[in-house]
Amino acid sequence: MTKPPEAETAAMRRAPQQARGQQRVAVILDAAEQIFAESGYEAATTNQLAARAGVPIGSIYQFFPNKEAILHAAAARYRDGFAEQYERLLAEGLGELPLPELVARLLDAIIAYGGAHMGITRIALLGAANPHTAAVGAALQADLLQRLDALLATRAPLLAPERRQFVGRTALVAVFALLAHGMAYKYSAPDEMFRVFEEAKTLLLAYLRATTDPA
């Protein structure tokens, strides 16, 4: 089976084994997230990334063959970080909370983590400009959908799997649309951004009540 072109360029050149190399890769990925947040993935260059990270350009190419591989590594780190946070929420009893509190805790976690990692969040929310950002956005959304589906399976066991998955996809699309709208106000009108985020909670709560309430 032939791999898609983006798969050929998405892998790191080599994974660091020692602490010094791991720290350098982390600095590069931090710089990438910052630049992706400020000017978008398309406009970013490896020279910009090296300058922001404070490393020689050779250090970039020591670990990454190109910008695409940096994007995929940053996205993988983002996914792992959110997975750890979500597991902590589950361990704290997220699934047993009353629905209003569950929705608030879940969206607060998504918003806080996304706001701290805007470079990748921007890609996840604003859609795909090319095959690489498409793959990253799709993977992030698939992760969230899988977690939401597992949560719904516990909360609404009478829902048929096909219906439950449809509800999860619909909820995710609606919430992502509102979060993307809210993020547009991040710098120009922060108060408006938080108002939109609160509306996202209201919408999600009302929709889940309407679709998962056994009555």
What CATH number is attached to the domain comprising 185? 1.10.357
- Residues of the domain holding 23: 5-63
Q: Are 107 and 197 in contact (CB under 8 A)?
A: yes
How many domains is the chain partitioned into structurally?
2
The torsion angle over the Cα atoms of residues 67, 71, 77 and 79, rounded to 10 degrees, is: -170
| Prediction pTM value | 0.87
**Rounded CA separation 73/59 (Å):** 15
Domain boundary among 63, 93, 110: 63
Q: How many CA atoms lie within 13 A of 50 on its CB side?
A: 15
- Mean pLDDT of the 150-169 span: 94
- The predicted pLDDT at position 122 comes to 87
Please check whether residue 171 lies inside any domain of the structure.
Answer: yes
Q: Are 161 and 137 in contact (CB under 8 A)?
A: no
**Do 57 and 122 fall into the same domain?**
no
Please check whether residue 154 lies inside any domain of the structure.
Answer: yes
pLDDT digits 0-9 by tens, 118-152: 999 988 887 667 888 888 989 999 999 999 999 99
**Do 137 and 194 fall into the same domain?**
yes
**Rounded CA separation 188/19 (Å):** 40
**Rounded CA separation 148/150 (Å):** 5
**Do 32 and 117 fall into the same domain?**
no
Please check whether residue 69 lies inside any domain of the structure.
Answer: no
Task: Kindly report the backbone phi and psi dihedral angles of residue 64, in degrees, each rounded to the nearest multiple of 5, phi listed first.
Answer: -130, 135
- The predicted pLDDT at position 142 comes to 93
Q: Are 120 and 136 in contact (CB under 8 A)?
A: yes
pLDDT at residue 107 above 90?
A: yes
Domain boundary among 63, 86, 110: 63
- The predicted pLDDT at position 9 comes to 55
pLDDT digits 0-9 by tens, 62-85: 999 999 999 999 999 999 999 999
What CATH number does residue 20 fall under?
Answer: 1.10.10.60
